Amino acid sequence: AQSVTQLGSHVSVSEGALVLLRCNYSSSVPPYLFWYVQYPNQGLQLLLKYTSAATLVKGINGFEAEFKKSETSFHLTKPSAHMSDAAEYFCAVSEGVAGNKLTFGGGTRVLVKP
């Protein structure tokens, strides 16, 4: 069975500072990995996805994530936080191309301080 752990349910960063959100996964087969963002009172939107191509994945709004198989991690980063980055972020895994269900982590809420 697959699972996802997000370290830290809340993260507070200053505007302009690095954003780092941690995600570790377990999967019995090579995984597909995703980061989604949820703004208040909205559904989830895709930030980026890893599907076994390049290990460094670039997404929207300046975010990127690096797949590290040896660490079973897929951490999300952004070099410089903006006020508009305040949202909840979810890491998710599916079991490769044969998987048709996503398993989500518990989410990390990001607060950006001016």
Partner 1 sequence: NAGVTQTPKFRILKIGQSMTLQCAQDMNHNYMYWYRQDPGMGLKLIYYSVGAGITDKGEVPNGYNVSRSTTEDFPLRLELAAPSQTSVYFCASSAGLGNVLTFGAGSRLTVL
Of positions 23, 44, 93, 110, contacts partner 1 by CB under 8 A: 44
Spatial distance between the Cα atoms of 7 and 11, rounded to a whole number of angstroms: 10
Return the number of other C-beta atoms located less than 10 Å from residue 75's C-beta. 19
Strand, coil or helix: 41: coil
Size of the site for partner 1 (CB under 8 A): 27
Of positions 7, 17, 86, 102, contacts partner 1 by CB under 8 A: 102
Of positions 7, 22, 59, 99, contacts partner 1 by CB under 8 A: 99
Asked if 60 interacts with partner 1 (CB under 8 A), we say no
Spatial distance between the Cα atoms of 102 and 46, rounded to a whole number of angstroms: 13
Asked if 105 interacts with partner 1 (CB under 8 A), we say yes
User: Which listed range, 18-26, 53-61, 69-77, 100-108, lies at the site for partner 1 (CB under 8 A)?
Assistant: 100-108
Asked if 107 interacts with partner 1 (CB under 8 A), we say yes
66: nearest Cα among 105, 24, 12, 4: 24
- Yes or no: say if 91 and 23 are a contact pair by the CB < 8 Å rule: yes
Cβ 94 to partner 1 shortest distance, Å: 7
Spatial distance between the Cα atoms of 9 and 62, rounded to a whole number of angstroms: 22
Please give the residue ranges that form the binding site for partner 1 (CB under 8 A).
4, 6, 9, 32, 34, 41-46, 49, 51, 90, 94, 96-107
